[in-house]
Structures are given as structure tokens and as C-alpha cells.
Structure 1
Amino acid sequence: MPPLSSIRPVIRASARNRLNGRAPTTLPKKLRVPMSAYVVDCAVYVDGGRLPGRWAHDAAIEEVRRRGDGFVWIGLHEPSDEQINGIAETFGLHELAVEDAVNAHQRPKLERYDDTLFMVLKTVCYVGHAEPKTANELVETGEVMVFVGRDFVITVRHGRHSGLREVRHKLESDAEQLALGPASVLHAIADHVVDSYLEVTEAIEDDIDEMEAEVFTPRSTMDAEQIYVMKREVLELRRAVTPLVAPMRKLTEGYSSLVPHEVRSYFRNVDDHLSTVAERVAGFNEILTTLVDAMLARISMRQNNDMRKITAYAGLISVPTMIAGIYGMNFDFMPELHWRLGYPLVIVLIALICGGLYRNFRKNGWL
């Protein structure tokens, strides 16, 4: 888009014309809708190549339809209702899909509205940390909504980590793939999202292995709460992966004519990777459940050992307490009450009984 300094003279001329009662000067079509902060990029692609210049959405689709070839790719980031309404009206987007795209927090899904496909994908990002037992959040999620028509692709992103700049650059360097049309963009986005799932699952797998080793380490400081934190994060990843399996399978089976046969074969590869991720996530859940059971069993065993020690020491203390209690009742007629060797005999008797009990407790593993 040209710098603002080149637009200001046109705006001033338009204002002067209004004051003088003349028709206002109009901006060139490419400048009529300026690129805003929520519009990340708007480009026209013909024969696998990007046309030069920056385009407003209405000028871009007019150029494509005038040529009768190519498509428009518009990238939006967290637009509001007012910001997306103009684009929705120009491209004929269904109001329910637009509402979902603006509000976000949707489950992964694939819907068909007349001649438009609307797909929601959950993006995930692994949050680094020093070690699993100190982490409060491992997986950060976002969303990418994709509108696919015969001559346009509109992507709406929510979240800080869900950028598609890398996907766009990779596609622009592959003219053959980009020439397949809007469906190739949908495939590239889905492939990018599922690849991020694989990366996150590999990182989580390393954390679970480390956590498993920590759980079974003697005198470990691992807390069951940290296992529940990990289980919660795996559940969040599962919410992103599992609902996407059915929509991805539809794209491989010819759900819409907007996805040609050449692109469906690429979606089969993405579907295979997604199935791998789903199996890994299910396995993580089972392992963490086992670790929770092991941690609870370990805590229970530790408590039992503590109770054994407490009981053993209570038994040792009860011997002198009982004897002292008997001789502390101060009766006048008691055996050996005035005997000279009574005190040493009682001490030796207490020591022998306590020593025998201690030896027996040690032999049975109570102490």
C-alpha cells in the first residue's frame, strides 16, 4: 500500500470539493479500503504467482473475476464485527460462520454454506519450562478459521502463536502447488497445524518420560498435583486433536467440489499424521492415569510405613510407661517396694523387654 503521505492530497482535495459543493474526489480502488491492523495480508494469485502490489479486498476479488482466473487470499487477525462485515458482504460469507469466526472458542469442525467451506482448526503451542514438576501450563491454544470459495480464501486467526506467514511464504515458493487453487491453501494450513501437533506431542512425551522417572525415584519430591496439571494439558490437546479427525476424513473423501481430486490426495497424508497424533494423545492419557495410580499407591504405602513406625515406637514406650504406672500408685504393700535391688532390677527388666521388642520390630521391617 502507498504511504499515507501520498493519500493525504486526495483526502484534502475531496474535503475542499465537499465545501465547494462539488463531487468529492474518490480514492483509487486499491486505496478505498486501507490495510488495517487486523488485515495481515491481502494478495491475488494467478497461475501460482502473486500479483505485485497491495490490494483492498474488493479490488482484489474484482481483479480475479475480471481475469476469470486465480484467487484472493486475505489474512485477518482477531477482527471485530465491524471490521469483518465489509469483507463478509463482498465475498458472500454466511452470517453464522462469520459470527463463529469473530467470537472464536469453537470446536474444530468443517461446515458447508452454499458455495463456501468453513473450517475451524485449533492451533497449539508448547510453552517451555525448566522441568515438568514446576510447570503450570504446557500447551497454549489458539484458533484458525478458514473460508474457502471458488476464487478466494479468507483466514481468521485468534491467538499470538497462530501466525501463517511461514505457510504463505512456503506456498508462494511452490507455484505448482499454489496453482491448484484455494484448496491448496486449506491443505497447507491444515498440514501446518497438524505438524505443530506432532511437535507438541513429542515435547510432551519427553516431559512424561521425565515425570515417570521422577515418580519412581526414591525420596522423590514429585507431587500428584503436577501429574494432574500434565493430565489437564493433555486433555486440552485432546480437545484440539480429536474433533478434527472427522472433518479431515471428510476432506479426503470428496466432501465438496471445492477440494479437487489432486488436493484430496494431499489431505490423506495430513489425515495419517492426525491419526498418529490422536493415538499418541490417547496413550499419554493412559500413562498419566497409571502415574496417578502409582503416585497414590506410593503415598498410601508411605503412610502405612509411617503408621508402622509410630505403632512400633508406641509399643516401646508403653513398656516403661506401664511399669512406672504400676510402681507409681504408692500402695503400702507392694512386692519389692523396699528392696535394695528393686530399682536396678526394674531398669534392667525394662531394657530387656524394650530391646526384645525393638529387635522383633526391626526383624519384621517395622523400624
Structure 2
Amino acid sequence: MAAEFIIDCLLFHDSKSQAIALDDISDHIGQPDRFIWVELKSPDSQTITHLGDELGLHALALEDAISTHQRTKLEEYDKHVFIATRTVQLWESRMELGETHLFVGSNYVVAIRHDSGSGYQRVSERLQAARNGIKPGAPYALYLVLDLIVDQFRPVIESMQDRFQSLESQLMSGAKSGRDTLERLYAMKRDLTTLRDVAEPMQDITQDLIRLHPGLSTKELKAYYRDVQDHAVRVSAAIDRLRISTSDAMQFHLASLSVKQNESVQKLAGWGALLALPTVVFSLYGMNFINMPELKWPWAYPALMLATGAAVIVLYRRLKRRGWI
């Protein structure tokens, strides 16, 4: 058996925990006073098949666990529940998407994760330090896993908020921005859409556990499961607010670009009008009319130059006052 896939394989009995081999699970699984916690990271199909033999898992659930990119779902089989959920966490200063498959039986929980994140070490530690009358068991372990998955959204959302505030400050400061800023806003909206698709199904998972699986959301833990659901709802609401703010920022940016473009067109039109006036006047004298009596006047040329210059100055001041140049 490939040990590199196994992160944890713990047996809890008589308020004590000990590490056991994956091959020994079947020796303890039939004893209801014992609980087994297993965490695997990106195992191969052989390891998952062997785990299924040890726990007696359903073949269809094993097929789902072998293949990644599963949709978030909760499926109930004869002796266990299978949960596929997508995860996200802030890992090495970037958003790391992952996937976790859970097998939950009467006295075991198996977490199979596919990501590069920190894993479920916190779950293992809290199971070993269980107090307040809570015993390590499937209901408590499942709650700890779901609680950790939802909690990992918070740093990601905070990072997104900082990212948005930076872009918003750049937009509001009037700093030179263009296609690059628009691309960054669009990239952020795309990340938020992905984040929403990961977060929203968690509400359905926790709600189904509370309503349809009283054996897992026990009376003692129901309040804890409701707290996870409340956190999932707040995560989705925070993501939606950020998506709306990002969309508004994109509209503001596009409107700003449109205004700047209009201002440029106005300035070009204003300077064009200034150039058109003397162009029209002087072009008349290149048409070789026979009767142009002013050509014989001694002051015709300076008068024409002064009149044209005065007209240009008047037009310039009017355009300047209206902000066209």
C-alpha cells in the first residue's frame, strides 16, 4: 500500500487515539465503540479500491471518489453517506481550488482531498483534543471537516476585498488606467464567480444534513451544523456583494473611458473649427474670381488678416469657455 497517500489513519477508543495501518481498518470497523478517522491526499485508484474493501463501500461511490471534478453532492447508500464538495483556500498568497470526497459511516469518516493546501490536520487535532462531553465520532468529525472548509473561505474573501480596494483606489484617484485595469477587474469578477460556485452548494449540503440525516446532525451537534450553514450563507452573501461592487467598478471604468473619449473628440472638433475658419477665408482667394474688387484696395490684405485673426480669437475664447479645447 502506497504510504505517501496516507496523511492520517487514526483509531479512537476509550478516549485514546492511535495510528493504525490502512490494512487494519476492517479489524475495528465492526466495533461500534470505536471510531476511525482517515485522511488521504490524491490517492490512486488502487488505494481507493483497497479502502473500499476495508470499509465495505459502495462501488458507485468508489467510482466517484476515483475521478475528480465531481459536482458538489450528497448521496446516501445503505451503510454510508458519500459527500463530494469543492474547496478553496488561500495558499501561498493565491486562491487554491480543490476537491474533497467524504465517506461517512456509523463509526468512521474518510476524507479524500485533491489539492495542494494545508489539509485537515486541524480536524485531527480537534478530534484528539475533544472536550465538553463530545466524543470523537462520525457526527463530530464530519462537522469539523465542513466547518474547516467553510472557514477557509474567509481569508480568500479578505484577500479579494483587499484586491478590490486596491483597484477601486486606482480608479478613484484618477490615475491613468485603461485596458489593463479593465482586464484586472474582469479577472477578479471571474474569480468571484468561481468562488461563488464553490461556496453556494455548501448551504445545500449542511441543510440536507440537518433535515434528512439526524444520525449525523445529532441533537448535541445540531447547533454546530446550523452555525456552519450560517457561515456558508454569510460567505455567499459576501461574495455576491463583492461581485456587485466589481460590476459597478467595471461600469464606472467604462463610463470614465467613454467620457475621456468624448472629451478627446470635443478637443479635436474645437481645434478643427479654429483651423477651418482661416482655411475657408483664405481658400476663397485661390478660386481666381474675375471680380474681386477688394484686391485693389490698399488696406485689404491687413484688414482681412486682422478680421480673420479677430474671428479666430473670439471663437477660441468661446470654445475655451465651454471646455472644448
Do both share a fold (TM > 0.5)? Answer: yes
- Whether the aligned pair in 1 keeps the contact of 2:101 and 2:111 (CA below 8 Å) is yes
Q: Deviations over 1:31-60 (max 9, x none)?
A: xxx452112221111134212xx4222313
Instruction: Work out the CA distance in 2 between the residues paired with 1:335 and 1:299.
Output: 52
Pairing partner for 1:80 from 28, 39, 44: 44
Q: Partner of 1:166 in structure 2?
A: 122
- Whether the aligned pair in 2 keeps the contact of 1:108 and 1:243 (CA below 8 Å) is yes
- Once the two structures are superposed, the pairs formed by residues 337-352 of structure 1 within 5 Å of their partners are 337-352=295-310
Q: Partner of 1:150 in structure 2?
A: 106
Pairing partner for 1:355 from 287, 310, 313: 313
- Relative distance call for 1:177 and 1:234 in structure 2 (3 A) is farther
Instruction: Work out the CA distance in 2 between the residues paired with 1:362 and 1:83.
Output: 78
- Once the two structures are superposed, the pairs formed by residues 286-301 of structure 1 within 5 Å of their partners are 286-301=244-259
- Of the structure 1 ranges 253-262 and 243-252, higher mean CA displacement relative to structure 2 is found in 253-262
- Whether the aligned pair in 1 keeps the contact of 2:28 and 2:34 (CA below 8 Å) is no
- Once the two structures are superposed, the pairs formed by residues 106-117 of structure 1 within 5 Å of their partners are 106-117=70-81
- Of the structure 1 ranges 99-108 and 233-242, higher mean CA displacement relative to structure 2 is found in 99-108
Deviation, structure 1 residue 126: 3.2
Q: Partner of 2:61 in structure 1?
A: 97
Instruction: Work out the CA distance in 2 between the residues paired with 1:35 and 1:196.
Output: 29
Instruction: Work out the CA distance in 1 between the residues paired with 2:47 and 2:119.
Output: 19
- Once the two structures are superposed, the pairs formed by residues 212-361 of structure 1 within 5 Å of their partners are 212-221=168-177, 223-361=181-319
* Stretches of structure 1 lacking an aligned partner (at least 5 in a row): 1-33, 130-137
Matched, 1:122 2:96: no
Q: Partner letter of residue 63 of structure 1?
A: H
Matched, 1:50 2:17: yes
- Relative distance call for 1:335 and 1:165 in structure 2 (3 A) is farther
Instruction: Work out the CA distance in 2 between the residues paired with 1:57 and 1:122.
Output: 25
- Relative distance call for 1:108 and 1:178 in structure 2 (3 A) is farther
Instruction: Work out the CA distance in 1 between the residues paired with 2:304 and 2:90.
Output: 70
* Stretches of structure 2 lacking an aligned partner (at least 5 in a row): none
Q: Deviations over 1:122-158 (max 9, x none)?
A: 22123677xxxxxxxx532111111110121111101
Matched, 1:193 2:160: no
Deviation, structure 1 residue 180: 4.1
Deviation, structure 1 residue 110: 1.7
Instruction: Work out the CA distance in 1 between the residues paired with 2:312 and 2:16.
Output: 92
Q: Partner of 1:69 in structure 2?
A: 33
Matched, 1:60 2:18: no
- Relative distance call for 1:315 and 1:127 in structure 2 (3 A) is farther
- Whether the aligned pair in 2 keeps the contact of 1:120 and 1:145 (CA below 8 Å) is yes
Q: Partner of 1:37 in structure 2?
A: 4
Alpha-carbon RMSD: 2.2
Q: Partner letter of residue 280 of structure 1?
A: A
Deviation, structure 1 residue 215: 1.9
Deviation, structure 1 residue 64: 4.7
Q: Deviations over 1:325-367 (max 9, x none)?
A: 1112234542322444333223222211111111111111212
Q: Deviations over 1:2-43 (max 9, x none)?
A: xxxxxxxxxxxxxxxxxxxxxxxxxxxxxxxx4521122211
Instruction: Work out the CA distance in 1 between the residues paired with 2:52 and 2:319.
Output: 80
Instruction: Work out the CA distance in 2 between the residues paired with 1:60 and 1:365.
Output: 81
- Whether the aligned pair in 1 keeps the contact of 2:36 and 2:108 (CA below 8 Å) is yes
Helix, strand or coil: the match of 2:3? coil
Deviation, structure 1 residue 84: 1.1
Q: Partner of 2:139 in structure 1?
A: 183
Q: Partner letter of residue 278 of structure 1?
A: S
Pairing partner for 2:167 from 195, 208, 211: 211
TM-score normalised to the size of structure 2? 0.91
Q: Partner letter of residue 208 of structure 1?
A: F
Helix, strand or coil: the match of 1:261? coil
Instruction: Work out the CA distance in 1 between the residues paired with 2:133 and 2:43.
Output: 29
Aligned residues: 323
- Whether the aligned pair in 1 keeps the contact of 2:85 and 2:99 (CA below 8 Å) is yes
